[in-house]
Chain A
Amino acid sequence: MKYFLTVLHVELMKLRKSRVIWVTAAAFTLAPIMAGFFMFVLLHPEFAKNAGLLGAKAQIAGEADWPSYLILYAQMISVGGILIFGFIISWIFGREYVDKTVRDLLALPHSRSFIVAAKFTAALIVNLVLAAYILSLGLLMGFLMGLPQYSTVILYQGIGLILTVTVLVSILSTPTAFLASFSGGYLAPLGFVVFTLVLSQIIAAAGFGDYFPWSIPAIYSGIAGEGSHTGLGPYPLLMVLATGLVGLLATFLWWLFADHH
Chain B
Amino acid sequence: MGAVIQTEHISKNFGKLRAVKNISLEVDRGEIYGLIGLNGAGKTTLFRMLLGMIRPTGGTVYINGKKIRPGEHNIWKDVGYIIETPHSYPELTVRENLEISRRLRLIPQQKSVESVIHRLNLKEHAWKKAKHLSTGNAQRLGIAKAILAMPEILILDEPVNGLDPAGVVEIRNLLRELALDRGVTILISSHILSEMAKTATKIGIIHGGELLQEMDSKKLCKLFKSYLIVACRDNELALSKLASAGYSPTLNREGLIEIHSEKALRKPEEISRFLVHEGLPPTKLTVREEDLEAYFLKVVEGKEQ
Residues of A that sit less than 8 Å from B by CB:
3, 6-7, 9-10, 13-14, 17-19, 99-101, 103-112, 256-257, 259-261
Q: Name the CB-closest residue of A to B83.
A: A103
Min CB distance A253 to B, Å, is 10
Q: Are the CB atoms of B104 and A7 closer together than 8 Å?
A: yes
On whether the beta carbons of B106 and A6 are closer than 8 Å, the reply is yes
* Segment touching A, from B51-59, B119-127, B190-198, B237-245: B51-59
Residue of A nearest to B53 (CB): A260
Provide the bound-state CA to CA distance between A257 and B53, in Å: 9
- State in angstroms the CA–CA spacing of A109 and B78 once bound together: 8
A105 CA to B104 CA in the complex, in Å? 8
* Cβ–Cβ < 8 Å partners of B103 in chain A: 6-7, 9-10
CB-based contact A106/B52 at 8 Å: yes
B279 CB within 8 Å of chain A = no
Which A residues touch B92, using CB under 8 A?
14, 17
Listed in ascending order, the chain B residues whose CB lies under 8 Å from chain A are 48, 51-55, 70-71, 73-74, 76-77, 79, 81, 83-85, 87-92, 96, 100-101, 103-106, 145
Q: Which residue of A lies closest to B54 (CB)?
A: A259
B105 / chain A contacts, CB cutoff of 8 Å: 108-109
Q: Is the CB of B100 within 8 A of A108?
A: no
Contact status A6-B87, CB under 8 Å: no
A259–B14 alpha-carbon span in the complex (Å): 11
23 contacts between A and B (CB under 8 A): A3-B106, A6-B106, A7-B104, A9-B103, A10-B104, A99-B87, A101-B87, A103-B87, A104-B101, A104-B104, A104-B145, A106-B51, A106-B53, A107-B53, A107-B73, A107-B76, A109-B73, A110-B106, A111-B73, A256-B70, A260-B53, A260-B54, A261-B48
Q: Give the 5 A-B residue pairs with the shortest CB-CB distance, closest first.
A: A259-B54, A100-B87, A109-B77, A107-B76, A260-B53
How far is A165 from B34 in the complex, measured between Cα atoms in Å? Answer: 56
